[in-house]
Amino acid sequence: MRMGSMISRLQSCGVWLAAVALLSAAVPCLAQSDADFLAARAAFDKGDRVLLAGLSRKLNGHILLPYVEYWRLKLAIDDASPDAVRDFLARYPDTPLAEKLRVDWLKSLARKADWNRFALDYPPPSGEDVELACYGIQYRRQRDGDAVLADAKPLWFSGQTTPDACEPLFAVLIGHGDLTAADRVARFRLASEAGNVKLAQAIAADVPGKERIVGREFLPNRDFQRALDGGAFAFSTGAGREVALYTLERVARSDASAARPAWVKWRDKLPEAERKYGNARLAYHAARQLNASANDWFREAGDAPLAPEMQAWRARAALRALAWSDVLAAIDGMTESQRNEAAWRYWKGRALVAKGRGVEAKPLFETLAAETHYYGVLAAESLGRRFEPPKSEPLLSTMDALNTFGAQPAVQRVVKLTHLDLKPEARREWLFVVRGQSDETLLLAADYARRVALYDRAVNTAERTTARHDYSLRYLAPFRTEFDAASRNQDVDVALLYGIARQESRFSPDIVSSAGAVGLMQLMPGTAKWVANQLGRKDYRAAAIGDVELNTNFGAYYFKYWLERLDRMPALAAAAYNAGPGRAQAWRPPAALEGAIWVETIPFNETRDYVKKVLANSMFYAQAFGGSPQSLTARLGQVAPRGGSVADPITASAP
């Protein structure tokens, strides 16, 4: 546990107790037993079985004792007795710890080829990862024979390194001729596309005969651009052609425009299928780099098979080019599940309207307008009406019901884990509490979470309902005093600030990201320091970055700073807030572009999703606060061409 977070916990202990005092399941503040528990976790992380055993004796009766028992079994899993494992599974059924222990146990048994005991718990109810799937096939093979090896073949086709448990199966398939040289070339391409150079090199060197690829093609210091320009590939052999395509991939990944001239010069030396594949890979990278020619280059790929991610970028390239016929063709070429995603239903409707087929588009928009997300708002506006979320049906929770819910050991573990800043464990426990529950139970759980200030759990749980919804829980507005003050101080729409905080932190004031961003508005320490200087806050100290009042005010200032410098366009400012102002500026089009298309073609998946959700959140909050919000279409507006560079003052001022 981080020391700063621990201090913050101790300082806020009284406030936290006030939030949960109404509920009988409230958990006390940090006590000696909690310190012993944290020490036990540290011992587990270090693999210190002796210290962990000693601490476990001091934790009898602690609400988190199951974790200590799991850690002890986990560290000794290869020596654990079946009775000890079964006892744990029997005492803590339907918990994430039981799920993890069962998988750990199965893998340990498989490593020892103890298939009789393996059979007792296989397959696990929670499903299996690739490693356990391969162990499962090993088990079934010794029971049923080689026919089951067919189940291992699909696992071969991955651009990622597979677990050691799969290798014996692949070796047998290769030996039987069921994994051909073509299959190995296919995986070589998948590894190349994933940027997994080590796997690509290993697969290429293992291809039999003349198709084997070895040598300098994989050297880290190789000048791939020079090799591509030279075009001195052995086009008469499969290996030579794969080296050519691999070299194209390496260059296009960085700069598709730089790869294009050389590719055009010698691509006709390749057979049609390989040429179309190269065209598709070049077009894909060009689309992600927002190259204006990407749509034309996708046309050159013809009917080359495209993975879902490539098919999505084919559609985005067509959107960016306003080539509506190509948008329709790209969406129609998707798998059924991909076509049914909200994004592509909306853009198919837009393409149909652009092609004068509005009658066909209307049912798509009508269905989307009944859904509560970014595309639902846009679809409603496409129909000429203001988006209205479905009616809330809040649950009137009684105190008895709340206390009964909170008295569950699993719920008490969630509260305690959160209080000890073990949020990943708390989230896993909570998912087991709410999975498979009715809408009424979900709303009760969300209300409980709200009352004990587990705002992230409240929001996420309220979002799980299917028929009965409470939008006051889905779109919580805690810390209203602080957000209103930040809105007034920095002259930023409070609905936008809530939209950002809901996406950034789900209103967890003490959350710290893996990158080091802190608090409700997820401020990086360098950003907070820069804002403090801008505001003349000489009293600012780094330890205060998570303070709700300071964090909301500084976050509002930082967002407003970029809003003013990026044409007062919330989409651009949100992208800058998430990915940095330099990227937001670089992603601007060479000519004015509809804001919704600009958002759809943001190259970073995370930022694209972030901007959509921030803007949709802000629409819901604006309505909840009783205002007359600007339409989402108007808020997206038209993104103007990029002008001069926009420097990040924080980066620029860094030593």
Copy the structure tokens of residue 114. 């103890």
Q: Are 225 and 260 in contact (CB under 8 A)?
A: no
Q: Is 130 exposed, middle or buried (0-12, 13-18, 19+ CB in 10 A)?
A: middle
Mapping DSSP to helix (H, G, I), strand (E, B) and coil, where does residue 594 land?
A: strand
Please tell me the distance from the alpha carbon of residue 59 to that of residue 69, in angstroms, as a whole number.
10
Q: Is 95 exposed, middle or buried (0-12, 13-18, 19+ CB in 10 A)?
A: buried
Place of tokens 């509260």: 415
Copy the structure tokens of residue 524. 């990086």
List, as one string, the DSSP characters of 357-424: -HHHHHHHHHHHHTS-SHHHHHHHHHTTS---PPPP------HHHHHHHHTSHHHHHHHHHHHTT-HH
Please tell me the distance from the alpha carbon of residue 591 to that of residue 639, in angstroms, as a whole number.
8
Provide the phi-psi class of 538: left if phi over 0, else alpha when psi is between -120 and 50, else beta.
alpha
Please tell me the distance from the alpha carbon of residue 596 to that of residue 8, in angstroms, as a whole number.
41
Copy the structure tokens of residue 4. 């700063």
Residue 247 identity: T
Please tell me the distance from the alpha carbon of residue 349 to that of residue 358, in angstroms, as a whole number.
8
Please tell me the distance from the alpha carbon of residue 402 to that of residue 394, in angstroms, as a whole number.
15
Dihedral of alpha carbons 32, 33, 34, 40, sign: positive
Q: Are 553 and 573 in contact (CB under 8 A)?
A: no
List, as one string, the DSSP characters of 274-295: HHHHHHHHHHHHHHHTT-TTHH
Q: Residue 618: which of 536, 545, 579, 563 has the closest Cα?
A: 563
Residues 99, 217, 242, 504: which is the catalytic one? Answer: 504
By residue count, the chain amounts to 655
Please tell me the distance from the alpha carbon of residue 268 to that of residue 258, in angstroms, as a whole number.
18
| Angle at which helices 238-254 and 181-193 cross, to 10° | 10
Query: How many beta carbons lie within 10 A of that of residue 36, not counting itself?
Result: 18
Is 504 an active-site residue?
yes
Please tell me the distance from the alpha carbon of residue 22 to that of residue 18, in angstroms, as a whole number.
8
Active-site residue set:
504
